[in-house]
């Protein structure tokens, strides 16, 4: 490591030393957990942790061994330091209570310990996502160490109230991307020194883009506004956009957002009618909210299609919502298409697959 370069520890201490020393210490613990997870993931099949378990998480998803191990890593690294009143994870049905022999703090940590874990079997980048809130039910006159465990209501807060958010991505390099509400900054792990080094300060997402990411296998289930937007992108220069677009899909939220932060683009996991019991696919509190904060702090936008993600009031710990985020102009275009559709002023979407001259021509129409 070159002397004088900014480490993650130095960065968070400088950012939090005046009023939020507990927050700085918590972020350093999160970084330690990320290093442990990076080592676990980096061993691949050599670790002996490949494969799935017989258990499922609260979403009904089959758990992989790495899901459980990485969840434990986050808990063990962050429970003891006295900064937290509770934690919540994708892998746990209910909030995690800090063990009785550890002091309590004023913060809450919500996380997805291994986003995109199914990709680990094929050596595609995976990651860890986290969100930090300040406990809302804590009486300012009460010492946080004596205030007991957090209540469920403490976790059910809109993303605007996050005090910090970030993710780690485990790829060719391990990187940690962080915001404390004053820009989005990326740190790269120097494996020789064991330090995260600030390599991408004040990331800015280009407002325009010619790249979109969506799972087109679900196209038949999308709402018309999303079908309209994607059809226009696929039409390229010959369509109303007058430009060619590239499509990407990695099926790892961390990898998708990281690409957008580095070079722009739009990511969509929109509302669809595939499963009416799930109005969206991604979890609000520990996936959508932290990513929305990071993207907005980098100059982008994040929407459900009908509302700003950070303003959504949660009604459950594992609530799912639609997610559309990335370059501001494209996100605003998709939101406008939703508004026009809801108002009945949009142009009707016609799939070229079922057009008059298609393979599926309706003979009754002559």
CATH number at residue 158: 3.30.540.10
CB 28 within 8 A of CB 14: no
Each residue's pLDDT tens digit, 154-166: 999 999 999 999 9
Query: Do 12 and 155 belong to one domain?
Result: yes
pTM attached to this predicted model: 0.90
Q: For the chain, how many helices (H) and strands (E)?
A: 8, 16
Each residue's pLDDT tens digit, 33-85: 999 999 999 988 787 666 555 566 666 566 778 999 999 999 999 999 999 99
| Least confident piece of the model among 113-117, 166-170, 326-330, 334-338 | 113-117
CB neighbour class for 366 (10 Å; exposed up to 12, middle 13-18, buried from 19): exposed
pLDDT, position 363 = 46
Query: Do 122 and 227 belong to one domain?
Result: no
DSSP-derived pairing of the beta strands 164-170 and 62-64: unpaired
pLDDT, position 278 = 83
In this prediction, residues 179-184 reach a mean pLDDT of 97
**Last-in-domain residue among 175, 200, 225:** 200
pLDDT at 127 over 70: yes
The band of 366, judged by pLDDT with boundaries at 50, 70 and 90, is very low
Q: CATH no. for residue 263?
A: 3.40.190.80
pLDDT, position 17 = 85
What count of other Cβ atoms lies within 10 Å of the Cβ of residue 333? 17
In this prediction, residues 215-241 reach a mean pLDDT of 96
Residue 363 counted as domain residue = no
Host domain of residue 34: 8-200
């Amino acid at each position: 490591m070159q002397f004088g370069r900014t480490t993650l520890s130095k960065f968070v201490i400088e950012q939090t030393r005046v009023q939020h020393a507990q927050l700085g210490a918590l972020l350093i613990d999160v970084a330690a957990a990320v290093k442990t997870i990076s080592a676990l993931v980096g061993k691949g099949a050599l670790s002996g942790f490949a494969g799935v378990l017989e258990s499922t998480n609260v979403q009904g998803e089959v758990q992989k061994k790495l899901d459980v191990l990485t969840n434990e890593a986050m808990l063990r690294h962050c429970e003891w330091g006295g900064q937290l009143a509770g934690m919540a994870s994708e892998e746990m049905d209910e909030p995690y209570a800090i063990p009785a022999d550890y002091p309590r703090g004023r913060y809450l940590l919500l996380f997805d310990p291994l986003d995109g874990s199914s990709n680990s079997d094929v050596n595609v980048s995976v990651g860890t996502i986290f969100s930090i809130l300040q406990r809302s039910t804590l009486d300012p006159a009460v010492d946080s160490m004596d205030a007991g465990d957090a209540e469920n209501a403490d976790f059910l807060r809109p993303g605007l109230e996050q005090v910090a958010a970030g993710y780690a991505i485990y790829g060719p390099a391990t990187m940690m991307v962080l915001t404390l509400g004053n820009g989005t900054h990326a740190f790269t792990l120097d494996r020789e020194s064991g330090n995260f080094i600030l390599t991408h300060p004040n990331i800015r997402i280009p407002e325009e883009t010619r790249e979109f990411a969506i799972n087109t296998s679900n196209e038949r289930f999308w709402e018309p506004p999303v079908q309209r937007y994607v059809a226009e992108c696929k039409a390229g220069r010959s369509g109303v956009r007058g430009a060619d677009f590239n499509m990407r899909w990695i099926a790892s939220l961390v990898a998708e957002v990281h690409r957008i932060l580095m070079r722009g683009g739009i990511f969509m996991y929109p509302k669809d009618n595939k499963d009416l019991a799930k109005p969206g696919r991604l979890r609000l509190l520990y996936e959508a909210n932290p990513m929305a904060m990071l993207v907005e702090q980098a100059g982008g936008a994040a929407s459900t299609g009908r509302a700003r993600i950070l303003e959504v009031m949660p009604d459950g710990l594992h609530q799912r919502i639609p997610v559309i985020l990335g370059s501001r102009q494209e996100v605003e275009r998709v939101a406008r298409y939703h508004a026009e559709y809801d108002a009945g002023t949009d142009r009707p979407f016609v799939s070229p697959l079922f057009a008059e001259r298609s393979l599926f021509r309706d003979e009754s129409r002559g």
